[in-house]
Every structure is written in C-alpha cells, then in structure tokens.
Structure 1
Amino acid sequence: MHLYFIHQGQLPDTEPDSAADTATLAHDWQSPLRLKDWLTGMGHSFNTSFPLAGEALPGIDDFHALVVLDGPQRLSSAAQPASPAEQQSLRLQRKLIRRTLNSNRPLLGIGLGARLIAEQMGAIVSSAVVPQRRWATLTRSNECPLGLPAEFEALMWHEEICGLPEDCELLASSEHTPVAGFSWDEGRVVALNFHPHMDAAATQDRLAHHPAPLEGNGVQSREALLEDPKRFDRQAALLDRLLVDWLNA
C-alpha cells in the first residue's frame, strides 16, 4: 500500500549535513513521526507533499491512503487571517480532502488535518474555550468502531475544536474537548484532535517552535509534559491499534 502525507510546514532549507541535522529533521513536530515508523515496519511505502512550499498535491490516483498532518494554521473565524501562501495551501488541501471523501480511499487527519476533514464534512471549527497543551484522559464513546480502550491517556495540543459531522461516529472525548476524534464510512475516514504519533523529541521541538498556548487550565509545563517517557510508549501502542483498524476498514 502506498500512502501520501500532507505536511503543513516548509521544505527543509538544505540537505542535512550531519547525523544531528538528520535527527532534527526526523523529530520536526509537523512530520509523520511514529506514523512513518509504523508504515515502514509494516512494509508500506509513502511520499510527503509540502503544499505550503508550493509543491503540487498528489492526484487521487497517486495514493491508496491519505494522511493530513497537524500544523499551526487556524481555521476558525476568530483566527488571524492566513498568509496568501497558507490560504492557497489550505484551499488545495480542502479540494483533495473532498475528493478523498468521495473516493474509497482511507483518509486520516491529525490536529489541523482532523479539523480540515470536519470542516469539509459540514462541522463547525471554533476556538477552544480551554486551549490544550497537556496529557489528558480520553473516554471512548459507545459508538466508537475502533479498538480503543474504554479510557486512555493521550497528548492533546490545540487551540481549536470541531463539532461532530453528520453521520459520523464519535470516537472519544475529554474534559474540554467534546469531540477528540470521529470516524465515518465504517472507519475509512478517521479524524483525531489528539496526537498519538508524537514522541518526546517531537514534543520538545514543538515546545521550542510552537509553544502556544502558554497558560490556562488546559496547559501543562514542559516538565509535566516530558516527565514520564512511558506515556509516549503507551500512546505509540494506541497508535498501532488505530492504524491497523483504519487501514483494515
């Protein structure tokens, strides 16, 4: 199976000159991270498109499954206006998401990617009353078609939330995020407003390059986010289960 990732950032300025540079690129918080590791381990191939850098997005026949990744861009009416390059990138992504929704291809969105899917399915994206940057306990919904535990801990990091699109199944919710994830078409389409693909190094990268939100009831300190490495291991196992269910839908 061949997948395409849609990356929300810019292309690296140069090829990495050292092992340290390669490691830095590998832990860019906007990159596929553990998604890529899982796909490689399962023998799948993939490409990555950078529409913000002006790269063309893939055609519907160029992939068997599509993953739209997270980024700092905001979609709600309360957000600051996007730059022309961001507007063009989001416009092209919306078009590709609509085409994928109308196909038989699996579609996964994380963070911004999830909210773009929700938006294209008619749900409202709005500013979160309590922005999130923390480990949160999520509760699986009774209608969830995926093999999630009844309760699980995951990393949440967002300033926007979305409603549940019509005819979609709620996957899970948390205290301040009523729709932490949803699925559609018997699990072919999955949207996650949490981040099971992130590891400790990517979390440190995001703290350095995208620290907002900085304060509030939903915000944990850097120390609290990183104090227990086993949290990342547990959510990696959760990601494995999600990906198997998604691609087998």
Structure 2
Amino acid sequence: MRVNVLQHTPNEGPGSIQEWADLHQHDFYVYHPYQFGILPVAATTDLLVVLGGPMSPNDDLPWIKQERQLIKQLFQEGKPVLGVCFGAQQIVKTLGYQVKKAPVKEVGWGPVKLQSKLISGLPESLEVLHWHEEMFDIPKEADVLFSNANLQNQGFVLGKQAVGLQFHLEPEKDNIKEIVVNDAQYLSGSVFKQTTKQIIEHPVPKENKRAMFRILDYLTE
C-alpha cells in the first residue's frame, strides 16, 4: 500500500502516522504542496493523509483547491482519506459543507469524548492536542466521532471512506516541542490558558497513538 501524506507547515509532520506505516511496511511519501506546489495523483494513492496547517480551506490559494480535487477523485474511486485539523476541514469543504470560526479558540491540551461506536476499540475519552480556531460542519452523510464541551464537532467518520479529526492524535513528544517552539504566539486567546512550558511538559498519552493506529487500521481494513 502507498500512503501519501500532504504536509502544510514544517512543524506539523506525520508523527505516529509514519510509525504505523513503517510497522505495516507500507510505502510512505510526504508532499509539501504549500511550498512546492506538487501533489500526488489518485492512481498512486491507496491512503491519503491530509495534515494540519496555519491556513484555512477558505483561503483562495490554487494548491488548496487542487487538494480538494484530489480528495474528490479519491472519494469517487472509493479510496480512504484521513484528515487532521486543516485536513479534516478540507474533506468537509470537498463535500460541500462549511468551515467557519469556532465559538472558542482551542490551543493546548484538552479532552474529547467518543460519540460513535462505528470504529471499534477507541477509548471513551482522550486527552489530545488542540491547535485551531476554526470548526467544520459535520457532513450529513457522516457520524459525529468526537465532541467536547467547547465544540460538538471535534471529529467525524464517513463510513469506511474518511475520518476527520479537528484535533491532533499524531504528535509524539518531540513533535509537540517543534509545534510549540515555532508557533507559541498562537497560544494567545486560547480557552485552555496554558503556557508553552505546560504544553511541552504535558505527557503524551499512550492512548493517543493507539487511537491513531486504530483509526488507520479501520480505514485500510
């Protein structure tokens, strides 16, 4: 299987997603369309992972629209897509639904609770890294997967076709350091009111990697 990853900023990489791919001996390719303008093609994509980034899917940039064309083609071919943060928003926009300003800005560690049993083996709650101030509508074809007290639409599952997460399960300890030291100014105004030190020193729950692996297994079973 060939796993193609779309990365949108240097400090938000695939983290444990790459570990999952290596464990299963999948071919693993990372693209940087925001910098090089190059995207994979559907014919050589068995699983597409669309990562987070500081941009919005509402931005009028050619590569953002080209990403959605790729997602649309993969949907037509029945190939799975995982979206994280901006990536989940891209899936929603591809399906014709809205991405808009969230009622609160979530940056830092916070809980989410499971809302659907469609993916077996996921824990009832997780402590995850949030890094966003926009939110997506849940497509009518999809089920709400995760919610919290701040935002109902924290994740969705669209059959075996797609999973979208507004938060981050993929970062490992060093990945979180990289995110924080390069984007610390984004903490301003967050509902969690955490410092850079608190975020970096917060243990990465082992359940996060297990949940990410379970979601990836579900999409590729």
Q: TM-score, normalised by structure 2?
A: 0.92
Deviation at 1:226, TM superposition (A): 2.6
Deviation at 1:107, TM superposition (A): 0.6
Please say which structure displays the higher CA radius of gyration.
1
Question: After alignment, is 206-215 or 117-126 more displaced?
Answer: 206-215
Tell me the secondary structure at the aligned position of residue 179 of structure 1: coil
- How do 1:32-111 residues align onto structure 2 when only pairs under 5 Å count? 32-76=14-58, 87-111=61-85
For structure 1, the residue ranges without an aligned partner over 5 or more in a row are 10-27
Deviation at 1:100, TM superposition (A): 1.3
For structure 2, the residue ranges without an aligned partner over 5 or more in a row are none
Deviations, residues 103-125 of structure 1 (Å, cap 9, x unaligned): 21111110100001011112211
Q: Is the 8 A contact 1:121 1:166 kept in 2?
A: no
Counterpart in the other structure of 1:187? 160
| Aligned-residue identity in percent | 23
Alpha-carbon distance between aligned partners in 2 of 1:74 and 1:149, rounded to the nearest angstrom: 30
What is the root-mean-square deviation of aligned Cα atoms in Å?
A: 1.7
User: Does residue 217 in structure 1 map to residue 191 in structure 2?
Assistant: yes
Q: 1:166 aligns with which of 140, 145, 148?
A: 140
Alpha-carbon distance between aligned partners in 1 of 2:43 and 2:191, rounded to the nearest angstrom: 45
Counterpart in the other structure of 1:14? none
1:43 to 1:216, Cα distance in 2 relative to 1, 3 A: closer
Alpha-carbon distance between aligned partners in 2 of 1:214 and 1:190, rounded to the nearest angstrom: 29
Q: State the AA in 2 paired with 1:59.
A: V
Counterpart in the other structure of 2:109? 135
Counterpart in the other structure of 1:228? 202
Counterpart in the other structure of 1:20? none
Q: 2:170 aligns with which of 191, 197, 203?
A: 197
Alpha-carbon distance between aligned partners in 2 of 1:234 and 1:224, rounded to the nearest angstrom: 20
Structure 1 residue ranges (4+ consecutive) displaced by more than 3 angstroms after TM superposition: none
Paired residues in the alignment total: 219
Alpha-carbon distance between aligned partners in 1 of 2:38 and 2:109, rounded to the nearest angstrom: 35
